[in-house]
Chains A and B, each alone.
Chain A
Amino acid sequence: MRARVLIRPKEGILDPQGQAVEQALPALGFRGVSNVHVGRLIELDVEDLSQVPVMCERLLANPLIEDYEVMEAARHPNGGALR
């Protein structure tokens, strides 16, 4: 199955990337934007979804500075096949 892992900077940790994006959007005329945070998306095919949180704790995320969320994902339209 396809697993999707969303990784976000932990609340309270300064996120200068999010701040930079937040400041760039009004410059393009977008209003009412706040609380922008930039994280990471990891998708992987796995046999056992229950292994993914363990992977997150050990490698995919750094739990000291990042939160992660694991979900089952629909397969990418190209089937995830390499070109």
Chain B
Amino acid sequence: MKFGVVRFPGSCDEVDALLACRRFGEAELLWHKDPDLHGVDAVVIPGGFSYGDYLRAGAIARFAPVMEAVIEFARAGGPVLGICNGFQVLCESGLLPGALLPNRSLRFVCRQVEVVVENPDSPFTRACDSGERLSVPVKHETGRYYAPVVPEEQVVLRYAPGHNPNGSQDDIAGVCSAERNVLGLMPHPEHAVDPLTGSADGGRLFESLALAPPAAAVAPLTGANAPVR
């Protein structure tokens, strides 16, 4: 498994993401101007403040040259993980439903939270059990998830009761695409991969990605989602 971690001007968690990926496979950085993905098997869009978060978080990053390749990769079924600012970028680019709004408190929130794995049937959570609780940090000011409709099977992670840090709708912490190959989440699994920092639970997501998919779980891709060969 080779991970590619996108670096935009203003990204700040790409090195932690790179090191988290390297615990479970190979990984390299992709630059925002790269026209292709260097043949990686999975893409991570890290946290930070891409393009200064000007206008709206993620609004300008979605037009970066590398994002064209990421969108094509995702439409062909490739796994894409967006963390924090990466989640905002994926929502703005239309790969994920919904949008992220300023926290209900209007404050920047930085703390450890617990999230519950609601759906272990995704490339990002297949190493987890349903209902498993993961301790991971959040750090954001624009993390209140909103979507007019989210099918329950697309809610992959929920803040544990009492842990919702931002007023997210239905305590949603992480949501995936209808095809389940794109996941966005506000908590930072890449900051929780070593027990030295208090929790290694975040590693479960990278571990899941590095696992080969069980043959039976690979749904045939048809129509618009079929890979370009």
Query: Complex Cα distance A65/B145, Å?
Result: 11
Determine if B160 is an interface residue (Cβ-Cβ < 8 Å): no
Query: Complex Cα distance A20/B104, Å?
Result: 10
> Chain A nearest CB: distance from B62 CB in Å?
9
A62 touching B98 by the CB < 8 A rule?
no
A65 touching B146 by the CB < 8 A rule?
yes
Query: Complex Cα distance A62/B148, Å?
Result: 14
A52-83 contact mask (Cβ, 8 Å, vs B): 1 or 0: 00000001101011000000000000000000
B175-186 contact mask (Cβ, 8 Å, vs A): 1 or 0: 000000000000
A34-52 contact mask (Cβ, 8 Å, vs B): 1 or 0: 0000000000000000000
From known contacts A62-B56, A62-B59, A65-B146, infer whether A17 and B92 are also in contact, taking CB-CB under 8 Å.
no
Q: In B71-127, which residues have CB < 8 Å from any A CB?
A: 92, 98-99, 101-106
> Chain B nearest CB: distance from A14 CB in Å?
7
> Chain A nearest CB: distance from B147 CB in Å?
8
Q: A16-B104, A64-B148 are in contact. List 14 more A-B contacts (CB 8 A).
A: A14-B101, A14-B144, A16-B102, A17-B102, A17-B106, A59-B59, A59-B60, A59-B63, A62-B92, A62-B99, A64-B146, A64-B147, A65-B101, A65-B146
Determine if B215 is an interface residue (Cβ-Cβ < 8 Å): no
From known contacts A14-B104, A20-B106, infer whether A65 and B55 are also in contact, taking CB-CB under 8 Å.
no
Query: Complex Cα distance A7/B146, Å?
Result: 18
Determine if A27 is an interface residue (Cβ-Cβ < 8 Å): no
Please report B residues at the A interface, Cβ cutoff 8 Å. Answer: 55-56, 59-60, 63, 92, 98-99, 101-106, 144, 146-148, 167
Determine if A13 is an interface residue (Cβ-Cβ < 8 Å): yes
Count A interface residues, CB 8 Å.
10
A1-35 contact mask (Cβ, 8 Å, vs B): 1 or 0: 00000000000011011001000000000000000
Query: Complex Cα distance A64/B148, Å?
Result: 8
CB contacts (< 8 Å) of B63 on chain A: these are 59
The interface centre, meaning the residue of B59, B60, B147 with most chain A CB atoms within 10 A of its CB, is B59
Query: Complex Cα distance A64/B146, Å?
Result: 9
CB contacts (< 8 Å) of A14 on chain B: these are 101, 104, 144, 167
Query: Complex Cα distance A13/B167, Å?
Result: 12
> Chain B nearest CB: distance from A26 CB in Å?
18
A13 touching B105 by the CB < 8 A rule?
no
Query: Complex Cα distance A62/B89, Å?
Result: 12
Query: Complex Cα distance A59/B92, Å?
Result: 9
A-B contact pairs, 10 of them (CB 8 A): A14-B144, A16-B105, A16-B106, A17-B106, A62-B59, A62-B92, A62-B99, A64-B147, A65-B99, A65-B146
Query: Complex Cα distance A24/B167, Å?
Result: 21
Residue of B whose beta carbon sits closest to that of A40 = B55
CB contacts (< 8 Å) of A13 on chain B: these are 101, 146
CB contacts (< 8 Å) of B105 on chain A: these are 16
